[in-house]
Amino acid sequence: MEDEYRDALIAALRITAGGRWGLFDHQKDRAAKARTAPVIEQLCDIAQEIDGLRAQLDMEPFDLHQSFMAARGPVRSDAVGEPKQAQAWLDRLGAAVD
């Protein structure tokens, strides 16, 4: 399941790195929020299942999801844009943009 989450996140990051804003929710753009809502919901659903299984095994919560969710939300005006942030995440995950 962690691989499924990682693959879904990488797919979304590639779209964002290509120029589509909304995944990181930096702007108050209702259209972008609505467009990315299904992706965020899918990631949260997978992460919730992973965390449930990890809890049964007395393991720490799934940190990739926690890190991603912490990176979302409003940012200062001088922060890097979502495409650059997505590319940094792809680099961190070792997943080059095709």
Averaged pLDDT of the chain: 93
Residue 85 belongs to what domain range? Answer: 2-93
Instruction: With cut-offs at 50, 70 and 90, classify the pLDDT of residue 79.
Output: confident
| Distance, CA of 81 to CA of 17 (rounded, Å) | 10
Backbone angles phi, psi at 33, to 5 degrees: -65, -45
Summarised one tens digit per residue, pLDDT across range 26-72 is: 988 899 999 999 999 999 999 999 999 999 999 999 999 999 999 99
User: Measuring CA to CA, which residue among 70, 59, 68, 66 is closest to residue 92?
Assistant: 68
User: Measuring CA to CA, which residue among 11, 4, 81 is closest to residue 39?
Assistant: 11
Q: Is residue 83 part of a domain?
A: yes
- Domains: count for the chain: 1
Q: Is residue 98 part of a domain?
A: no
Backbone angles phi, psi at 94, to 5 degrees: 70, 35
- The pLDDT of residue 78 is 86
Instruction: With cut-offs at 50, 70 and 90, classify the pLDDT of residue 96.
Output: low
Q: Is residue 82 part of a domain?
A: yes
Q: Which two tokens stand for residue 64?
A: 């990739």
